[in-house]
């Protein structure tokens, strides 16, 4: 048989059987042919034949049988198998404007290495972004003891709308093109499976996989630090749109009570600075003692969480804005839950409290639950890993043997 499953070299029935067994193995621990046969619904001989083929393809590993591990009682010991999760790697990159976070994981998505590279947000020329993304990728792989040849799938999250082909539409000042400067073409020659997605879309992927949206079909994830971004799931699907523009935030420029796509952390810092400048906060207050450039949203939210009255007033104002934003998403998409995600989520409790108080005035439909994410600042990179794992699951049968590590 050919070393590739692409084209016409594998009949459709056999490919379907291989895909079904492999899909079962990807989610299972160790298993026997009987386990796989029961779940997949094919004959025992077909199951064994398919599993042997997947072993030859370096996708499954045969384990010691029940006798060898001391669990044998009588009869012929069953052969046991597992996915070769260490047979290759996937990488997820959060390519923000001011940072690159590259996470290397095994084929099950278990993190091996996470590497952060801070960027100059003003130096965002396409060639610079491409070079730095490659630098972050290689640094993370070196730390994991791997090379690009070990990577089956790469997913990159960018702060721009992204369509199903990984491209971003034109923008009036070319910002989206600078954020997504041809990453697919740049990496596709070295890594076989490459995806580019919007960062908030990937935050929604992460929250659904291992966060506050597990088990939910209808939810909105707000990336809400310096700028707002949103991933929207309706009826079990994370929405994209024709050009990747679902929930594009320019709409909030025209919404009274919001006035733009500035994030919750940005608003907290800005309104605290204004309160200090206007004398509404005592000069001896911790916020007033900070230099203007040092006063950020984290300081405000930490003080609000501690019960500081001045910080709580700022948090309440931010919460009222969040209520308006939530009301808009609630009216458009009818989610069960709105999740505030990203680094700002750690201290967002007082803002959520204020938003819950204000939300009944913003919405006629039943109010969505407001939740803070527990996934932290790495949520986009985590979502990119989950998307890369899915790309590997969907596409690995079309890859030739050398893409999988022989010695793993």
Of 346, 336, 281, 286, which Cα lies nearest the Cα of 314?
281
Q: Are residues 91 and 77 in the same domain?
A: no
**Residue 189: its pLDDT value, please?**
86
CA 345 to chain centre: 15
Last residue of a domain, one of 26, 59, 83: 83
| The pLDDT value given to residue 5 | 42
| Residue 138: domain span | 87-207+380-403
The answer to whether residue 29 scores a pLDDT higher than 70 is yes
Dihedral of alpha carbons 237, 324, 245, 154, sign = negative
Helix (H, G, I), strand (E, B) or coil at 205: helix
pLDDT (0 to 100) of residue 4: 42
Domain containing residue 16: CATH number: 1.10.10.10
pLDDT for residue 8: 45
pLDDT band at 148 (very low <50, low <70, confident <90, very high): very high
Going by pLDDT thresholds of 50, 70 and 90, the confidence category of residue 403 is low
165 shares a domain with 54:
no
Lowest mean pLDDT among 37-46, 75-84, 271-280, 369-378: 75-84
Cα 341 from Cα 213, distance rounded (Å): 11
The 10s digit of each residue's pLDDT in 334-355 is 999 999 999 999 999 999 999 9
User: In whole angstroms, what is the distance from residue 326 CA to residue 224 CA?
Assistant: 12
Mean pLDDT over 209-217 rounds to: 97
Query: What average pLDDT score do residues 36-48 get?
Result: 91
Whole-number pLDDT of residue 400: 64
* Cα R_g (the chain), whole angstroms: 24
Domain count, the chain: 3
Query: 1 lies in a domain?
Result: no
- Residue 75 to residues 6, 89, 128, Cα–Cα distance (Å): 40, 38, 64
Which whole number is the average pLDDT over 142-146? 97
What pLDDT is stored for residue 364 in this prediction?
Answer: 93
Q: What is the mean pLDDT of residues 141-164?
A: 96
Q: Whole-model pTM above 0.95? A: no
The answer to whether residues 150 and 293 belong to one domain is: no
The pLDDT assigned to 68 comes to 53
**What is the greatest pairwise CA distance in the chain?**
84
The predicted pLDDT at position 69 comes to 54
Is the pLDDT higher at 67 or at 395? 395
Regarding whether 256 and 162 lie in a shared domain, the answer is: no
Instruction: Please identify, among 59, 83, 107, the residue that sits at the C-terminal boundary of a domain.
Output: 83
Q: Is 250 exposed, middle or buried (0-12, 13-18, 19+ CB in 10 A)?
A: exposed
For residues 237 and 346, state if they share a domain: yes
- Whether residues 386 and 267 fall in one domain: no
Write down the pLDDT at residue 7: 42
The strand pair at 31-32 and 60-63 is best described as unpaired
Q: Is residue 3's pLDDT more than 70?
A: no
- Between 157 and 41, where is the model more confident? 157
Please give the Cα distance from 91 to 139 (Å, whole number).
12
Answer whether 194's CB lies under 8 Å from 166's CB.
Answer: yes
User: What is the average per-residue pLDDT within 242-262?
Assistant: 90
State which of 126-135, 288-297, 395-404 shows the largest mean pLDDT.
126-135
Tokens of 96: 């923000």
**pLDDT score for 279:** 95
Quote the pLDDT of residue 46: 93
Which one, of 206, 211, 229, lies nearest residue 374 by Cα? 211
Residue 6 lies in a domain: no
Contact at 8 Å (CB) between 276 and 287? yes
Which residues are CB-neighbours of 87 under 8 A, at least 6 positions away?
58, 59, 61, 107, 404, 405, 408
Q: Both 230 and 347 in a single domain?
A: yes
Same domain, 196 and 255: no
Last residue of a domain, one of 28, 56, 83: 83
pLDDT for the residue 76: 63
What is the DSSP annotation of 300-336?
HHHHHHTT-HHHHHHHHHHHHHHHHHHHHHHHHH--S
Query: For residue 74, is pLDDT > 60?
Result: no
- Mean per-residue pLDDT for 288-307? 93
Mean pLDDT score, 371-392: 97
């Amino acid at each position: 048989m050919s070393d590739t499953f692409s084209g016409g070299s594998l009949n459709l029935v056999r490919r379907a059987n291989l895909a079904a067994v492999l899909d079962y193995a990807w989610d299972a621990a160790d298993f026997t042919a009987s386990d796989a046969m029961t779940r997949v619904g094919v004959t025992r001989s077909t199951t064994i034949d398919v599993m042997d083929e997947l072993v030859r393809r370096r996708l499954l590993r045969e384990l010691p049988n029940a006798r060898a591990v001391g669990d044998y009682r009588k009869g012929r010991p069953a052969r046991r198998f597992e996915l070769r999760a260490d047979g290759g790697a996937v990488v997820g990159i959060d390519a923000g404007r001011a940072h690159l976070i590259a996470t290397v994981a095994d084929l099950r998505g278990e993190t091996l290495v996470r590497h952060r590279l801070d960027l100059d947000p003003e130096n965002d020329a396409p060639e610079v972004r491409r070079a730095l993304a490659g630098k972050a990728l290689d640094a993370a792989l070196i730390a994991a003891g791997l090379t690009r040849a070990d990577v089956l799938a790469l997913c990159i999250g960018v702060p721009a709308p992204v369509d199903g082909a990984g491209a971003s539409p034109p923008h009036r000042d070319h910002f989206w093109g600078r954020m997504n400067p041809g990453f697919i073409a740049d990496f596709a020659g070295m890594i076989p499976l490459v995806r580019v997605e919007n960062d908030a879309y990937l935050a929604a992927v992460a929250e659904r996989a291992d966060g506050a949206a597990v088990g939910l079909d209808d939810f909105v994830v707000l990336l809400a630090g310096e700028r707002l971004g949103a991933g929207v799931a309706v009826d079990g699907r994370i929405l994209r749109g024709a050009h990747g523009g679902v929930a594009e935030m320019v709409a909030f420029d025209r919404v009274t009570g919001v006035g733009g796509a500035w994030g919750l952390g940005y608003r907290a810092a800005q309104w605290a600075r204004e309160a200090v400048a206007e004398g509404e906060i005592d000069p001896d207050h911790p916020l007033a003692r900070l230099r203007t450039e040092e006063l950020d949203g984290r300081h405000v939210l930490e003080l609000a969480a501690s019960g500081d009255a001045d910080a709580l007033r700022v948090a309440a104002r931010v919460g009222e804005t969040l209520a308006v934003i939530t009301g808009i998403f609630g009216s458009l998409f009818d989610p069960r839950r709105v999740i505030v995600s990203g680094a700002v989520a750690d201290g967002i409790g007082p803002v959520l409290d204020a938003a819950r108080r204000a939300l009944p005035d913003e919405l006629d439909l039943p109010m969505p639950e407001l939740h803070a994410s527990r996934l932290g600042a790495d949520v986009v990179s985590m979502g990119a890993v989950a998307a890369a794992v899915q790309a590997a699951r969907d596409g690995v049968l079309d890859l030739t043997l050398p893409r999988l590590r022989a010695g793993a």
